[in-house]
Amino acid sequence: MPKVKTHKGLKKRFKITGRGKVKHKRAGASHLMSHKPGKRVRHLRRPALLNRTQAKLVKTLLPYG
């Protein structure tokens, strides 16, 4: 069986935790923060976890993570 290539774009955007969950950066936190409430800005700093369906797809493209 041949090796499976890692998707380099996903490798930069997602991280697989020790328990196999998939972490990612939240959307909407790169710029235009001045009009957003402080609570929302603080929550956007924290990484989020993907749901099981999307995590399964990401894991197929990151085979050796």
Distance CA 47, CA 60 (A): 21
Other Cβ atoms closer than 10 A to 14 = 21
* Confidence (pLDDT) at 1: 82
The residues near 58 (Cβ < 8 Å, ≥ 6 apart) are 10, 14, 22, 50
Domain range summary for the chain, segments of one domain joined by +:
8-61
Whether the pLDDT of residue 65 is over 80: the answer is no
Distance CA 29, CA 46 (A): 10
pTM of the model: 0.81
* Confidence (pLDDT) at 64: 87
Q: What is the pLDDT of residues 8-59, one digit of tens each?
A: 999 999 999 999 999 999 999 999 999 999 999 999 999 999 999 999 999 9
- CATH code of the region 8-61: 4.10.410.60
